[in-house]
Structure 1
Amino acid sequence: MDFLNHTSHRPWPLPSGPWLLYMEWHNLLFLHYPIDPEVLAPHIPEGLTLETHHGFAWLSVVPFQMKKTRPRGVFSVPSVSDFLELNLRTYVSAEGKPGVFFFSLDAQSPLAVRGARMGFHLPYFDARMRWEIQNGRTRYLSTRTHTGATAGDFEAFYKPLSPLPRAAKGSLDHWLTERYCLYSADKQGRIYRCDIHHEPWPLQAVQVQEKHNTLGNLLGMQLMKAELAHYAACLPVVGWGLERVH
């Protein structure tokens, strides 16, 4: 894992302790939607600051394939380690560290859903999901099935195009993607941070046809056509354990 030796692009040093989780994100699509910060701010837990870029907060829908997921020191098992995942996230900071905050994470793995809900205080939901290639385009389809959860469906077709230049610091592309931690909140409202590490995103332009998207229903919002989209073929990632944000 040579990428652990490449840290010059990070906004802060790697955590001092050993990483705990390895994973690979494959065939990943970013769909980005500008949102009025006053509309989104009430949905952000106390202790986190909603970040904006040129006056807008942003929501992102991120469908991808999770592969080779495993704890440190354990071999990956395809039937357990590989599954589809679909995220709805926004962009926040705490203690001077910018990161992401998830409103929902749909996954087709019941084990991943329950493990992440318990171990990372993340709003994971069971879903029925499918990924396939049709006429040279990826079709990604997801229907939330989690008992008691707000309904959330998604369907899109997408096709990667040419690679993009490395996102420049200060650009919207960089602001939306180059984030090296996630935040979560437990039922008592306590905030936690989980550091992650990876190489800079190998972004590509992408052609997208959004067919159906009700993930915003969770927030009382309707997400229309994305303002911006990116694609990434594969990115190895490691993650550390939770630390309390005070």
Structure 2
Amino acid sequence: MNPVELAQRLAARERPTGRPVMKQRWSRLLFLHWRVDPELLRPLLPPGLHLDLHEGEAWLGVVPFLMERVRPVMLPAVPGLSWFLELNVRIYCHDDSGQPGVWFLSLDCNQPVAVELARRLFLLPYQHARMRCGGDLKATRYHCLRSGETEEAIYEYGPDGEAQEAEPGSLEFFLLERYVLFSSGRNGQLFSGKVHHPPYRWAQAKCDRWSTLPMKWDGLPEPHGKPESALWSERVDVDIFPLRRLMR
């Protein structure tokens, strides 16, 4: 990662101008990643976005976590609506200006209202799913079954070691420090949306059980072997900013 790229990625941590539209808490996050042939992932990106590489390598991620206290700004959280589960499959990209971000291949969610709102307001590929989560902070059991599928993705995980912030330029920094999402409208117009939160404090994850089924559900070949990176974070409080049309 050259100095210009690193400076741009560090600048992405700064709070965006304007007012957020939503507040959320993301908790018990598990970040699983596999190295993937870049040529497999490039066709998944729309024109105007480019695959983001770390030391020449592409990464494909599966991230289950809990969504908590989800609410529009100025409104209170609502029991039954503001707490739910989400699991996303993601790749990393940047736009023509070099702005780094995330391209979601899918986002499974067990809150039907959230699925429909996210599809309409943020143009993201949310999927209805039956999901449940048990255990505690140190030993989470997480289940996901996408609508229309027959086999359940199961994860059992917790922290393994002390939490820390990612060292700028490290692989952990590349995978975790993402403050922009990209999405696409019906006419192919690209949008970007910014989030703001403190840098993740992460630990290595002890992951006794994992699944690559969400990749299969998205039509991708399932990678062989264990995740090459498994990271855990307790929580972050997040401000969500509105989508903006990406100028090309």
Q: What is the TM-score when the length of structure 1 is the normalising length?
A: 0.90
| 2:54 and 2:171 in contact (8 A); partners too | yes
Matches within 5 A, 1:44-55: 44-55=45-56
Q: Deviations over 1:178-228 (max 9, x none)?
A: 111110112221110001100010101211023433111213211332100
Cα RMSD after superposing both structures: 1.9
Residue type matched to 2:178 in 1?
R
Identity across aligned pairs (percent)? 37
Closer, same or farther in 2 for the Cα pair 1:153/1:91, shift >3 Å? farther
- Secondary structure at the residue paired with 1:118? helix
Distance in 2, matches of 1:127 and 1:62, equals 15
Q: What is the TM-score when the length of structure 2 is the normalising length?
A: 0.89
- Aligned twin of 2:100: 98
Matches within 5 A, 1:3-152: 10-11=11-12, 13-94=14-95, 95-133=97-135, 137-145=139-147
Q: 1:97, CA displacement in angstroms?
A: 1.0
- Aligned twin of 1:3: none
Distance in 2, matches of 1:165 and 1:47, equals 34
- Note the residue ranges of structure 1 that are not aligned, 5 or more in a row: 1-7
- Aligned twin of 1:5: none
Q: Deviations over 1:94-139 (max 9, x none)?
A: 12210111000000000000000011110000000010118x6211
- Aligned twin of 1:189: 188
Q: 1:161, CA displacement in angstroms?
A: 1.9
| 1:163 and 1:204 in contact (8 A); partners too | yes
Distance in 2, matches of 1:196 and 1:151, equals 34
Runs of 4+ in 1 over 6 A off after TM superposition: none
- Secondary structure at the residue paired with 2:15? coil
- Aligned twin of 2:207: 208
Matched, 1:230 2:248: no
Q: 1:12, CA displacement in angstroms?
A: 6.2
Distance in 2, matches of 1:96 and 1:243, equals 16
| 2:89 and 2:106 in contact (8 A); partners too | yes
Distance in 2, matches of 1:211 and 1:240, equals 32
Q: Deviations over 1:44-75 (max 9, x none)?
A: 11111110112211111000000000011110
Distance in 1, matches of 2:38 and 2:151, equals 22
Distance in 2, matches of 1:144 and 1:113, equals 12
- Aligned twin of 2:156: 157
| 2:53 and 2:59 in contact (8 A); partners too | yes
| 2:16 and 2:196 in contact (8 A); partners too | no
Q: Aligned residues, how many?
A: 235
Closer, same or farther in 2 for the Cα pair 1:210/1:167, shift >3 Å? same
Greater Cα offset, 158-167 or 47-56: 158-167
